[in-house]
Amino acid sequence: QVQLVESGGGLVQPGGSLRLSCAASGSTLSLYIMAWYRQAPGNQRELVAVISTGGTTNYADSVKGRFTISRDNAKNTVYLQMNSLKPEDTAVYYCKAKLGFDYWGQGTQVTVSS
């Protein structure tokens, strides 16, 4: 069973950048479809980006051209590079691994505010 730990969140001004990391242990990350989700207060959790085992990526329309998901299988880590951040990107960001079952991390807070 895989365990996931997110890091890299914080407070950033509009227009700034952050890189989130999702480190996996207990299993080989290369076997899993990986995704980033986010949940803002009062909202449902929504899919932000997904990357297949082969490296194919897909993004929510709201983040296309600004966010990039990537994976480093050698480091057992998935990343979310977030550029041109907007206040509406403020949320708790979660990493998910899928291989039959879904496995979630604990989340990391991203706040975009001046």
Question: Which pLDDT band holds residue 79 (cuts at 50, 70, 90)?
Answer: very high
Rg (CA), the chain: 13
Residue predicted with more confidence, 17 or 1: 17
List pLDDT tens digits, range 28-64.
Answer: 989 999 999 999 999 999 999 999 999 999 999 999 9
Question: Which pLDDT band holds residue 1 (cuts at 50, 70, 90)?
Answer: confident
Task: Supply the mean pLDDT for the chain.
Answer: 96
Q: Which residues of 68-90 are buried (b: 16+ CB within 10 A; e: fewer)?
A: bbebeeeebbbbbebeebeeebb
